[in-house]
Structure formats: C-alpha cells, structure tokens
Amino acid sequence: MAGMLAPGAYAADLCPAHTHTLAFFNGVWNTPDTAASGARALLGALDEALRAHPARATLAIGAEVFYNASGLQRGTREGIEDLVEVFAQRAAELDDAVRQRWELFWEIVDGRLEGWHRIAAVLPRARDLAVALTEARNARLLAHATSFAAAPPTGIDYAAHRLRLRALHALGRGVLLVGHSQGNFFLNGAYRAQPDPAALAVVHIAPASARASGPHLLSGNDMVIAALRGVVPGTPPPPNLWIPPSTRDPSGHQLIETYLDADRNGRSAAGALMADRLLALKAAEPRASPGFFTATLAWDGDGDIDLHVLEPGGAHVHYGARVGASGSLDLDNTAGHGPEHYHATCDPQRLQAGIFSVGLNNYAAPAGRKAMLQIATAAHGVTRTVQVDAGPPRGEAGDASPIVLLRVAVARSGSAWTATVH
C-alpha cells in the first residue's frame, strides 16, 4: 500500500494531519506503482470536486492503496490468478451450487461459453491464455491447474485490508473506500467485516462485482465489464454514464485513461460522487494516535496476545510499560482478536534513529492462534504485513523474550526522516 496527502494538509511535525483517508482497491494486473498512480489520480479528482465546498478548509485527506497482488506482479501463469480470482469472487456472491462449479471457469477459458470471444477481444493476454490452456488440457495438467484455481492466493490480501481499516477506525478517521474493476470484490469483503459501517463510505468504479456496498459509476462503453456480463456468475450493475470513446483506452475500462481522463466527463462524475459520499461520513471517536510509524497486531480468536516493541534506546514497550522514549502502546486488548496498537512519536525532538524491533508474546491465548502484524508509516501507509502462528501461551515468562517479527529502521538525514521495514 502507499500513502499520499492532499495539498496543504501537512502538520508542523513528522506526521500529516489527516482527517479522512481515501482507501483505493486496485483492479487486475496492477503493479504497486500503477495502483499508487490510480490512488493519486482519484485523490486529485476528489480534491477538484471539493474546492468550492465550504467544508474543504477543515478536511485533510490522505490516500492509501489497499493492494491486491496480481498475477502480473507475482510473475506467474500469465495472469491466470486474476482470471481465477474474478471467477471465484463472482461465484462466491451466489449460492454454494454455483460457488463450486469450477467447470464453468474452464468452459470460459476453453471458449465453450457464448461471449468468451468478446472478453478475449479486449484482453489479448486472456486469448493467449485460453489457447495455451486448451493445448495443455491433459488430465495431469488440468488437475494441477484446477487445484491451483480452487484456492487463489487472496486470503492474506483480504485479512491485511481488514486489519488496516480497523487501525484507521481506531485513529478516528473517516474512510472513503473506492474500488475499480476487480478491486470491488476486495472492497466488499473489507466493508462487510467492519464493526462501524457509519465511519465508512463506498464508491464502486467499473465494478466487476455483482454485489454493491454503495453507489457505482459504470460507463456504457466499458467493453471489459460488458464482456463479463453473462459470461461469469452474477451480473454487474447497469451502466449509468456514457464516457465518449478514445484511442487512449479502446477498452473503455481503465481507471486513469478513461474514468479519470481530464478531457472527458468521467473524471468530474467520479469526483462529485466521491465528494458526496465523503462529506456524509461520520468519523468515529479516536482511540489511538497516529505515528511516524505504527504497529497493529490482531489475531483470530479469543485470548490475550501482546504487542511488544523494543526501541533503539533500550525501552521495552508493552502492556506493563506502555510509554517508551519514542512511542507508546495506546491500545491493549486482553479479551481476544485485538487490535493492539503502538505509535512512534511524530515529534522529531523525541523520535530516535535506530532499529525498532516489533513482535509478540502469546500471553494467554490457546495454542494455534494465527496472529497478524502490520506496519504503516506516515509517508507510505502500510508497508508490510505478516501472518504467523503465535505459538503456545507463555504468560509473563514470555515478556522478556518476545518473538520479533519485523524490524523498523528509522534514519535521519538533516531534517528528513525515513522508516524502512525489514
């Protein structure tokens, strides 16, 4: 994920003074860099729509990419992960009888369902994939591919998104969720898991999902969504806008080249819709503080698992000593699930350069609990998420030797500070 800031929204210290966050859920075949470009473009369109509004002076809006790692980014199977994810996520919105019918997926890629030629025409890599799968359709390879398709590697993405939204809720942020294309599946999953939907607002752009958590924007000449209609399970929402065609994006589907193109009407429509939803948000009361970097810990059940941070100057921050030299544990959860939350100070006079070691101790949770630790920085949003087995309960005896999962290297050069996660 990457973090960005609207113009003029910096505080005097090391942390931006955000009141709201635009959470962008990217579509298929996006690298982290292209997803970050999409988030910046969305933030720009939103800022343009808010310029004349009286409330604009009170808003400080940041943007983060809620990234879903694609087959392009992983460099595997020439995009099959993305096609499998779209099918699996669309099927999951329907009943169990459809959810498990993977033969429909193979009929699609084999070209045996009416309409496949349309999606292949706008996604040339999909055409190549269909040909390759057809040629390799012996029993062994098909069984291997079907096994892969049955469990596309998206679980960590869903869990990381949900944890970050919990952290933003604890910070008292109003959060606008914006999804493009396949990203709307991830958006819906994250939205449904939140305890306080009133602090969230949703905008769907070119949704591939049949389920909606908020209003949508879909061009009548979006060839990709039109091709999906009737080809995979479920039906996307109807078009409600006509963006004139352009050679910049013949598919009519891309976020920046079509929906946010400054020379066509999609950008103003998207900006106005986002502004309307954001202004209606009611942010939660903050329970935690922002930081130059933050660490958030959660786990998958009841019991007490503790967040520990070893600061460069020697301070050991945990439930028994919640304030260190450079940061504080501001959320401590003993009942279960978390979150626990540590923030490094935004004050350059207090922040220490050096290595912050971040980990956990299973104080009193049953063995087998899965824990997730997430590091976010003021400049870049979430930079690292790890999921581990928390191990057996160790009680107070484990406090002296927490399991270190990540290290944050904080460095200073003149007045500039950086945080790098290892």
Domain termination residue (choose one: 261, 287, 313) = 287
Q: Which residue has the higher pLDDT, 263 or 27?
A: 263
pTM for the model stands at 0.81
Local confidence band at 231 (pLDDT 50, 70, 90 cut-offs): low
- The rounded distance, in Å, linking the Cα atoms of 20 and 115 is 42
Answer yes or no: do 72 and 220 share one domain: yes
Answer yes or no: do 280 and 314 share one domain: no
pLDDT at 96 over 60: no
Local confidence band at 150 (pLDDT 50, 70, 90 cut-offs): very low
Answer yes or no: do 282 and 297 share one domain: no
Answer yes or no: do 30 and 121 share one domain: yes
Answer yes or no: do 263 and 118 share one domain: yes
Domain termination residue (choose one: 227, 256, 287) = 287
Answer yes or no: do 339 and 260 share one domain: no
Say which DSSP state 206 is in.
S
* Alpha-carbon distances, residue 405 vs 108, 157, 388 (angstroms): 42, 19, 9
Instruction: Identify the top-confidence range among 8-12, 127-131, 141-145, 260-264.
Output: 260-264
* Residue range 270-294: mean pLDDT, rounded: 94
Say which DSSP state 286 is in.
P
Domain span including residue 57: 1-287
Answer yes or no: do 357 and 243 share one domain: no
The mean of the pLDDT values for the chain is: 82
Residue 106: closest CA among 154, 148, 155, 153: 148
pLDDT at 83 over 80: no
Answer yes or no: do 97 and 210 share one domain: yes
Answer yes or no: do 232 and 304 share one domain: no
Domain termination residue (choose one: 259, 287, 315) = 287
- The rounded distance, in Å, linking the Cα atoms of 10 and 16 is 5
* Residue range 90-99: mean pLDDT, rounded: 51
Answer yes or no: do 283 and 297 share one domain: no
- If one counts the domains in the chain, the total is 2
- The rounded distance, in Å, linking the Cα atoms of 146 and 75 is 19
